[in-house]
Amino acid sequence: MNLLSSLRVALIALRVNALRSALAMLGVIIGVASVIVLVSISEGTKRAVEEQIASFGANLLIIRPGSSMFGGRRGGAGTADPLTDGDVQAIRNEIAGLAGVSGEVSSASTVVFGGVNWSTRIQGVNPDYFSARGWTIADGRAFSGAEETSGRRYALVGQTIITELFDGADPLGQSIRIGGQPFEVIGTLARKGETSWGQDQDDVIFAPLNTVRQRFGAGIQVTRRDAVQTVYADIAPGESTSRVIADIQDLLRIRREIAPGAEDDFNVGSLAEFIRARNETESQLGLLLAVGAGIVLLVGGIGIMNIMLVSVTERTREIGLRLAVGAKRRDVRNQFLIESIVLCLIGGLAGLVAGVGGTLVYAEVGQLEIVIDPMIVGIAIGASAMVGVFFGLYPAHRASRLDPIEALRFE
């Protein structure tokens, strides 16, 4: 019997017992659907996280004051002496392997243009900030180092500010009032969207650091005229993150006169640590998904084997008749093996439809990004076929080993 004839007989046998076949396929359907749904959601989440990391700058170091110590009591994060312009300059000049360094101060304020006002945060930064944090200038320009030092009242605005204050019109050259003080808009920023925790990154105004510190010092709450709240350092491609961090720590310990063996009163954080933790979490999640899908497919395969053994028992006389009229044992074995594979493939295709449909519904209801990877789809269908081979092999072998005489006597 050729392959096409075996396939036709298999489809007829499955159609005759349609309900039983559908119930046998249920485990495979659930297994394949769950693989597609879970992996698609996982891949979508992974892509969203990667986009967030890219928006922050994958090679970014974040340096902040640590905890103060007074009378044996720790004051908490950020209570130590602030970092300064001198620290920023020293890191920029003395640490090798950095593409850019910028200090930052920020203050909440109300912005007014015409008869419209909007509450937002104004952030004072150095010119290197935009490249370090991955900001793109959509139109206009950024301020220069000389303009930052001289305290010019220039502003770069995010897309949310453009929408809320200017109703989408071109803001370049316009004068806005921030905290009652006029600033000239010299540039606009490309859209970044929301972070994974819902913060609108485009609801922001950037201005020269010295200007913000001088004009909004009360809102910044710093204890020194040259203080910065945060320092951002962008590591150049190919440079060692651990080496750069160690060099910055050594430099700041000297500048802040920290005794040997004493605890640092500053923190140097790296997004590489977050990326490493994320990769470990993804590996564990992937393992859990694989184990869960494997268990479901295993249960489905056991159901397939059970149904095929029942089918062999019900068709014992048919098998005996075929063997008696000259059918070879491998033909009988191949016949039942093909039936098992067809059963699993149909279940796999049904699971594919259910999985893709469930993923699309979940994405629509939850407003989440999903990624349906064709490779995962292929693996899921291939796994269902392998289940058919593995769990169909024993019933097929058992059918092929029946004695023709005993099979014809079977009632």
DSSP 182: E
Higher pLDDT pick, 273 / 392: 392
pLDDT at 211: 92
What is the pLDDT averaged over residues 352-367? Answer: 79
Q: How many angstroms separate the Cα of 362 from the Cα of each of 42, 105, 290, 369? A: 12, 41, 21, 10
Give yes or no for residue 362 having a pLDDT over 70: yes
Per-residue pLDDT band for 347 (boundaries 50, 70, 90) equals: confident
Q: Lowest-confidence range among 287-291, 295-299, 301-305?
A: 287-291
What is the pLDDT averaged over residues 318-323? Answer: 71
What is the pLDDT averaged over residues 252-259? Answer: 90
How would you classify residue 176: left for phi > 0, otherwise alpha for psi between -120 and 50, otherwise beta?
A: beta
Nearest-angstrom CA–CA distance, 136 and 140: 11
Higher pLDDT pick, 204 / 326: 204
* Helix, strand, coil content of the chain in percent (nearest 5): 55, 20, 25
How would you classify residue 172: left for phi > 0, otherwise alpha for psi between -120 and 50, otherwise beta?
A: beta
Highest mean pLDDT among 31-45, 234-248, 259-273, 295-309: 234-248
Per-residue pLDDT band for 95 (boundaries 50, 70, 90) equals: very high
What is the pLDDT averaged over residues 273-301? Answer: 70
Nearest-angstrom CA–CA distance, 125 and 123: 6
pLDDT at 221: 56
Nearest-angstrom CA–CA distance, 42 and 36: 10
| Amino acid sitting at position 171 | P
| pLDDT over 90, % of the chain | 25
Give yes or no for residue 100 having a pLDDT over 70: yes
pLDDT at 140: 94
Higher pLDDT pick, 30 / 98: 98
Give yes or no for residue 109 having a pLDDT over 60: yes
pLDDT at 102: 93
Per-residue pLDDT band for 300 (boundaries 50, 70, 90) equals: confident
State the burial class of residue 222 (Cβ atoms within 10 Å of its Cβ: 0-12, 13-18, 19+). Answer: middle
Q: Where are the beta strands (DSSP E) in 172-229?
A: 175-178, 181-189, 205-208, 227-228
Structure tokens of 138?
């959509």
Give yes or no for residue 156 having a pLDDT over 80: yes
Mean pLDDT of the chain: 80
Q: Lowest-confidence range among 87-91, 133-137, 226-230, 362-366?
A: 362-366
State the burial class of residue 406 (Cβ atoms within 10 Å of its Cβ: 0-12, 13-18, 19+). Answer: exposed
Q: What are phi and psi of 351, to 5 degrees?
A: -65, -35
Check: CB of residue 281 under 8 Å from CB of residue 80: no
DSSP 367: T
Nearest-angstrom CA–CA distance, 400 and 379: 30
Q: pTM for the whole thing?
A: 0.60
Give yes or no for residue 123 having a pLDDT over 70: yes
Question: CB-based contacts of 318: which residues, under 8 Å, 6+ apart?
Answer: none
Q: Lowest-confidence range among 22-26, 255-259, 327-331?
A: 327-331
Give yes or no for residue 197 having a pLDDT over 70: no
Nearest-angstrom CA–CA distance, 134 and 147: 21
